[in-house]
Amino acid sequence: MWSKWFVRSLITHLVLHTLVPLCPANQQDLGCRAVLSGRVLDDHDKEGLSYAALSIPAIGRSILADAEGVYRMEGLCNGRYRIVVTHLGCAPVERTVEIEGNTVFDFKLEHHAEQLRELEVARQRPDENVGQAHAQLDKKAMERSAGRSLAEMLATIPGVNMLQSGPTIGKPVIHGLSGNRVLTLNQGIRQEDQQWGTEHAPNLDPFTTDKVTVVKGAASVQYGSDALGGVVITEPLELPREEGISGELRGIGMSNGRGGGGNGLLQGGVKGVRGLGWRLQGSGKYLGDSNAPEYVLSNTGLREAGASASVGYRDHRWNVGAYYSWFARELGILRASHIGNLTDLNNAIESGTPWYVADFTYAIEAPRQDVEHHLVKAEAGYAVNERGRIVLTYGYQADDRQEYDIRRGGRTDRPAIDLYLTTHTADAVLKHWVGKHMHGKAGVSGVYQENINVPGTGIRPLIPNYRKQSGGVFVLEHFPLSPKVEMEGGGRVETTLLDIAKYTSNDVLITPQHEFINSALTVGANWSVKDSVRFRFNVGTAYRPPHVSELYSEGLHHGAAAIERGDPELSSERSLKGTIDLEALWSKGRFRTDITLYGNRIAGYIYLRPDGVELTIRGAFPVFQYVATEAFLYGADVTLQWKLTQRASLRNRTSLVRGRDLSQNEWLFQTPGDRTENALVFELPHIGEWRSAEVSATSRIVFMQSRIPVGLDFAEPPGTYHLLGLSASATRPLGSGELLIGLQVSNLLNTTYRDYMDRFRYYADARGADLTVWIRYAFGKY
């Protein structure tokens, strides 16, 4: 143990005292006082484009233009810079500008009058998510996480953690909330894939997008139910508008699991039809058993495959598009999580060593899961006038899930759970402009959903058949009070009807019905104190009707290795959440801070509470009961970034969350522990034809969660752990395209640890060291 801490300290010392002195002085040290200013204009009517975003990637500087499109960037060195300008509804523009003293340069963007999609978080414009704290994973960040699941990618964002069920299953946790309290939007459609299960990971392919946005606030007004904790948005890729073929090929290798994956993408426009574009994409992943530092995590292999196709047309007035995706996953459930008797269960928890460890294999045996998910989306938009637009969106999803248990009598190949879920969603949104000081959107939405237990399992269903219908109306208005201050206010009303069909323990068919009527309100503000300081606040209510699983679960949920029991008397959760967010640049942009404070009071908070152990014919399992309580969660997300030199920066990301069960007057069960991550990022100069080279070292500490209900859990929380990581990447031209090569090492020292948010921590350690190598070739305009 002491040797590992010594190595950690030595590596940290070498990184901080060897790399940093090699870096040249930063811009401020060089006395850089040049100023770049001007306007961002619509190329057609020469009007200013409000709140356009301008960035200089080479030095990490970015600003927003004001309401008239005027911008000003100070503290620059003389020289040539590549400047990227983006604005919602416009194609991004890149220009190389020669800066000499005070330079004036106007950027002209072609504005397509593209609609503000209802389920899209726009670029950093004050009139979208006013007051809501949010964060993004851009294309570069997603590249660094190539091969990881969506939950693993998101866990790098402050305030976002991961709820795990072994090494193959992860779900995002936002400000201490997960599952049905975190809404996922896949290509603008509510993702519906049996997300009620703690071991049901989102069934979507991260390769279908190059940017993911996380809204860290109560967002039920705009997005409907389930957005108590926040919203995860995989944003649609914009289709090409002009002729020409482009795309990418990517390969990934991973040492832990001895496998890898890849994806391919091809896209283009149609000759002679400006505005018509198409895209084809496919991906796959193949992994064997994961490894903990001291043993194999048996039966944790993974298979994934996905494909998508999209086509669309748009001009200044119309846009129409269609999208289809298919995603399939087969994964093993840790064999050691299934116990045969009460004595073995206690021994497994107390010994710290899995009772079942076999040699590495690519085979996946029971217990396992097979899932297929289909998504069809159709969308049409029409500009009713110069500033108004109506958008109609329809989505269809089919989710086919089988879960296999270890069964007697040769029935292991028969699924223990076989669910088929179909969902239809429809939305109509009108974006309107009342005047300079009032504009927004109003809309209606509906959901029709059916869940069927496919006959033939030979086991009483964990959840019953049901039909769900919901409909809602909302309005969300923005009030620009000045170029620096904008307010937002809105409300939503939604009704949900739930029809159940199930048999009692006496084989009597019952058909209970539930109706839930909920509403939500929000008010927020965005105050640009000055160009480098932005202050946001939001207060909003949100709601979530109980899921069928919380009302009527009864039996063994094998993927969670637990017996779960519902309560049909549960009612809707209702929350009141407030957030305060401060973004600022200090010392001429050398120091950046992003601090979010939040508090969330939830009435009727539903969670699985441990309720003893039960011995069944399939083994001994812990019992969890769905209960409701009054909960209060509060905490802080902090990001600090120092520009040490022109090429080196130091970043800290820290997340703190506290959860109280107010009814029981105790700490809330299964709340993430405090965590902090430090990263030293070093951008290398061009080396021959290699450019954009970057090397980073990370140090992540997750502290022991000592704030737990006394005597409730089956085992004491795991201790504090410390993980080191390294990553590097570089690009170079290759033919008519670009080649990117990168690597990432996770858990560099192969540290043995267990995470409090891993439900399988009772049975085994977490994954050990992992080396991931990726290579990507992009060609054309992609």
Highest mean predicted confidence (pLDDT) among 106-115, 346-355, 555-564: 346-355
Q: Which helix (H) or strand (E) holds 473?
A: strand 465-480
Q: Write out pLDDT tens, residues 411-457.
A: 889 998 999 999 999 999 999 988 888 989 999 999 999 999 999 99
**What is the structure's pLDDT at 618?**
64
CB atoms within 10 A of CB 762: 20
With H, G, I as helix, E, B as strand and everything else as coil, classify residue 309.
strand
Q: Residue 26: which pLDDT band, with cuts at 50, 70 and 90?
A: very low
Closest by Cα among 518, 510, 575, 516 to 547? 516
> For residue 676, what are the CA distances in angstroms to 83, 582, 587, 695, 765?
33, 19, 24, 20, 21
**What is the structure's pLDDT at 118?**
28
Contact 187, 781 (CB under 8 A): no
Token digits of residue 649: 């920066």
Q: How far apart are CA 679 and CA 725, in angstroms?
A: 9
Token digits of residue 69: 């499109």
**CATH 2.40.170.20 fits domain 231-779:** yes
Is the pLDDT at 781 greater than 80, yes or no?
no
Q: Where are the domains of the chain?
A: 2-112, 231-779
Which residue in this structure is represented by tokens 């809707």?
A: 572
Q: Residue 675: which pLDDT band, with cuts at 50, 70 and 90?
A: very high
**What is the structure's pLDDT at 131?**
67
Q: Note the CATH architecture for domain 2-112.
A: Sandwich (2.60)
Q: Residue 127: which pLDDT band, with cuts at 50, 70 and 90?
A: very low
Q: Write out pLDDT tens, residues 163-194.
A: 888 888 899 999 999 888 999 999 999 999 88
**What is the structure's pLDDT at 303?**
97
Contact 65, 48 (CB under 8 A): yes
- Which of left, alpha, beta for 702 (phi over 0: left; psi -120 to 50: alpha)? beta
Q: Give Cα 298 to chain centroid, integer Å.
A: 28
List the beta strands (DSSP E) in 481-572. 485-503, 509-510, 513-530, 533-544, 554-557, 562-565
Across the range 606-631, mean pLDDT stands at 84
With H, G, I as helix, E, B as strand and everything else as coil, classify residue 363.
coil
Q: How far apart are CA 646 and CA 372, in angstroms?
A: 48
Q: Which residue has the higher pLDDT, 691 or 132?
A: 691
Q: Write out pLDDT tens, residues 695-728.
A: 999 999 999 999 999 888 878 899 999 999 999 9
Q: Which helix (H) or strand (E) holds 143?
A: helix 139-144
Which residue in this structure is represented by tokens 């703690």?
A: 198
Across the range 202-209, mean pLDDT stands at 88
With H, G, I as helix, E, B as strand and everything else as coil, classify residue 9.
helix
Q: How far apart are CA 656 and CA 599, in angstroms?
A: 12
Beta bridge partners of 517: 495
**What is the structure's pLDDT at 278?**
96
| In the chain, % of residues over pLDDT 70 | 91
Is the pLDDT at 124 greater than 50, yes or no?
no
Q: Which residues are CB-neighbours of 410 under 8 A, at least 6 positions away?
A: none
Is the pLDDT at 633 greater than 60, yes or no?
yes
Q: Which helix (H) or strand (E) holds 62?
A: strand 61-64
Token digits of residue 400: 């086919």
Q: Which residues are CB-neighbours of 59 under 8 A, at least 6 positions away?
A: 27, 81, 646
Question: Can you spell out the DSSP letters for 388-421?
Answer: -EEEEEEEEEEEEEEEE---STT-TTS-SEEEEE
Q: Which residues are CB-neighbours of 1 under 8 A, at least 6 positions away?
A: none
Across the range 488-499, mean pLDDT stands at 96
**What is the structure's pLDDT at 101?**
84
Q: Produce one character per residue of 267-276: b if its CB has 16 or more CB atoms within 10 Å, e if not.
A: bbbbeeeebb
Token digits of residue 370: 């097979």
Q: Write out pLDDT tens, residues 50-63.
A: 788 898 887 778 88
With H, G, I as helix, E, B as strand and everything else as coil, classify residue 196.
coil
Is the pLDDT at 112 greater than 50, yes or no?
no
Q: How far apart are CA 769 and CA 290, in angstroms?
A: 10
Is the pLDDT at 524 greater than 80, yes or no?
yes
Is the pLDDT at 546 greater than 60, yes or no?
yes
Q: How far apart are CA 629 and CA 635, in angstroms?
A: 20
Contact 515, 164 (CB under 8 A): no
| In the chain, % of residues over pLDDT 90 | 57
Is the pLDDT at 4 greater than 70, yes or no?
no
Torsions phi, psi for 191 (to 5 deg): -75, 125
Q: Which residues are CB-neighbours of 343 under 8 A, at least 6 positions away?
A: none
Q: Is 411 exposed, middle or buried (0-12, 13-18, 19+ CB in 10 A)?
A: middle
- SS3 labels along 310-351: EEEEECCCEEEEEEEEEEEEEEECCHHHCCCCHHHHHHHHHH
Among 3-12, 262-271, 669-678, 719-728, which is the least confidently predicted range?
3-12
Q: Residue 123: which pLDDT band, with cuts at 50, 70 and 90?
A: very low
Q: Taken in order 153, 155, 157, 160, is the CA torsion positive or negative?
A: positive
Q: How far apart are CA 140 and CA 287, in angstroms?
A: 24
Q: Write out pLDDT tens, residues 572-614.
A: 999 999 999 999 989 888 899 999 999 999 999 998 888 888 8
Closest by Cα among 745, 744, 741, 738 to 775? 741
End-to-end Cα spacing for the chain: 48
The number of CA neighbours under 13 Å toward the Cβ of 43 is: 13
**What is the structure's pLDDT at 13?**
39
Q: Residue 741: which pLDDT band, with cuts at 50, 70 and 90?
A: very high
Token digits of residue 521: 């309100």
Beta bridge partners of 205: none
**What is the structure's pLDDT at 301?**
97
List the beta strands (DSSP E) in 570-708. 573-586, 591-616, 619-643, 648-661, 666-667, 675-683, 691-702
Question: Can you spell out the DSSP letters for 232-251?
Answer: EEEPPPPPP-SSEEEEEEEE
With H, G, I as helix, E, B as strand and everything else as coil, classify residue 193.
coil
> For residue 391, what are the CA distances in angstroms to 115, 430, 468, 634, 752?
7, 6, 25, 37, 51
Is the pLDDT at 283 greater than 80, yes or no?
yes
Is the pLDDT at 125 greater than 70, yes or no?
no
Q: Which residues are CB-neighbours of 50 under 8 A, at least 6 positions away?
A: 65, 66, 67, 68, 69, 125
Q: Which helix (H) or strand (E) holds 139?
A: helix 139-144
CB atoms within 10 A of CB 424: 16
Q: Write out pLDDT tens, residues 412-424.
A: 899 989 999 999 9
Q: Write out pLDDT tens, residues 528-544.
A: 888 789 899 999 999 99
What is the average pLDDT score of the chain? 87
Same fold, 2-112 and 231-779: no
